[in-house]
Amino acid sequence: MPQNADNVLDHFNLFRQPEYKEMFENKKKNFENPVADDALEQAREWTKTEEYKEKNFAREALTVNPAKACQPLGAVFAAVGFESTIPFVHGSQGCVAYYRSHFSRHFKEPTSCVSSSMTEDAAVFGGLNNMIDGLANTYNMYKPKMIAVSTTCMAEVIGDDLNAFIKTSKEKGSVPAEFDVPFAHTPAFVGSHITGYDNVIKGVLEHFWDGKAGTAPKLDRTPNESINFLGGFDGYTVGNLREVKRIFESMGVDYTILGDNSDVWDTPTDGEFRMYDGGTKLEDVAAALNAKATISMQEYCTEKTLPYIASKGQEVVALNHPVGVAATDKFLMEIARISGKPISEELTKERGRLVDAIADSSAHIHGKKFAIYGDPDLCYGLAAFLLELGAEPTHILATNGGKNWAEKVQALLDSSPFGKDCKVYPGKDLWHMRSLLFTEPVDYLIGNTYGKYLDRDTGTPLIRIGFPIFDRHHKHRYPVWGYQGSMNVLVWILDAIFEDIDRNTNVVAKSDYSFDIIR
């Protein structure tokens, strides 16, 4: 074999060696029931046609590569945003391994999360004993200040009652009676990761504001001038939340981030392990009841939480992943209106710099066609920015987007001449997107890592914006919100355009007349 200790080959080169090529050929021939190459190619070409697209869009009982994840993933995302809080997922160990690995691969940081490790016996008799033992072990081993409980499919199918289970666990001495154990039911077979985020944030607020499970303290109801902020499920939470804090501080506004996970996924390497880092202080969560208003950066991530907050007498403001000049203007003007504080000179200058950058580069973006997929708010925000740049967001697809979202995006498209021939696709998946890219081609695709297969298959260059990003590192450290974040998005789009131009103009003496130094 070509591999040896003196010359270790990485997999890029190892699997191209003759021995491995022969092994793969034998595997394909003897075990994969292959069809003839010409028949395979004929079928592949058919899947690129309008005829196939019609059949593809007619399917109802099958989803192929959905652009979403399950509720408990969003539940874990929300839970780690609170001070010294460990997510406790009532379900199987394998599910929790998926959530932890998914976040660790995106953020390149360890993600602490425990499971009640339900197995076959719990599926038959219920998971109460798993909850009793699991809460006790978590409390004693990891010394958290709060344990946030959510569920997986198994616990939901058999109907485990978290409220009753937590009360019983406290009666059995698993954790002290006054210890904070908020919870949310997050069945993975409905909704998506944004639903799970919403359920857990609402569950945490109910725990502290309503005394759910009889453990939260009685609250002072003295109003204050603070503004609460909800970021929603966001793959750029490290960069975005730090940018949002900078914006609030630049305007001199008192604020509380509800679910601040920016530090837990960006811990330093300095010899100290931090199972918990940062996070919203629990006393601040309780005090947030008395805030003047709550701003949500992602409307469709907080569909249950915002009405709950509004029921407490607070004003609520819902935005849609503000990227670009107009969207950031709206965000800052809402802060100014609610707080009575003026927008700072610093932010005003940043706006002017963004406008200048757009003017410098608009000729390269104008008229370019884009396909976008991802979460509803992300798609809306990016589409709005593309229209602002003079581009055409031709296909906008959100597997977890609903009818109301689609209507709102369509209204956005109708408001601009660049949205004339653009369409919205709620509830569709990436196999639908493949048909669209073949039958109605665009210049660029914007989405998460899974779009690289569409890039290879359809030849549509992928601009990686979204969650998860596995095959590129450290994107999450950069903001995409606000004027500064919009500048990042603008640069990423331009880089892709210029790289595509260079790739298509680099044949010596044939196309290199446009292989320019200056763009």
Q: Which residues are 87's β-sheet partners?
A: 148
Show the CA angle centred on residue 412, arms to residues 407 and 416, nearest 5°: 140
Cα gap 165→143, rounded to integer Å: 21
Give which of 73, 78, 302, 62 is closest to 187, Cα–Cα. Answer: 73
Give which of 94, 92, 96 is closest to 123, Cα–Cα. Answer: 92
Pair 260, 278: CB distance under 8 Å: yes
DSSP string, 245-295: HHHHHHTT--EEESS--TTTTS---SS---SS---B-HHHHHHGGG-SEEE
* Backbone region of residue 427 per phi and psi (left: phi > 0; alpha: psi in -120 to 50; beta: other values): left
Q: How far is CA 334 from the centre of its chain?
A: 24
Cα gap 242→261, rounded to integer Å: 10
Cα gap 308→312, rounded to integer Å: 7
Cα gap 168→444, rounded to integer Å: 54
Give which of 242, 394, 382, 388 is closest to 322, Cα–Cα. Answer: 382
Q: Which tokens sit at 129?
A: 């004993």
The set of residues, in sequence order, having a beta carbon less than 8 Å from that of 500 and lying 6+ positions away, is 443, 444, 461
Alpha-carbon torsion angle 423, 428, 434, 439, nearest 10: -40
Give which of 391, 345, 156, 328 is closest to 251, Cα–Cα. Answer: 345
- The one catalytic residue in 157, 190, 355, 491 is 157
Pair 362, 390: CB distance under 8 Å: yes
* Amino acid occupying residue 126: G
| Exposure b/e, 30-45, CB count within 10 A at least 16 = b | eeeeeeeeeeeeeeee
- The one catalytic residue in 80, 149, 153, 253 is 153
* Amino acid occupying residue 387: L
Pair 148, 200: CB distance under 8 Å: yes
| Tally of residues, the chain | 519
* 3-class state of residue 437 by DSSP: helix
157 is catalytic: yes
* Amino acid occupying residue 168: T
Annotated catalytic sites, by residue? 153, 157
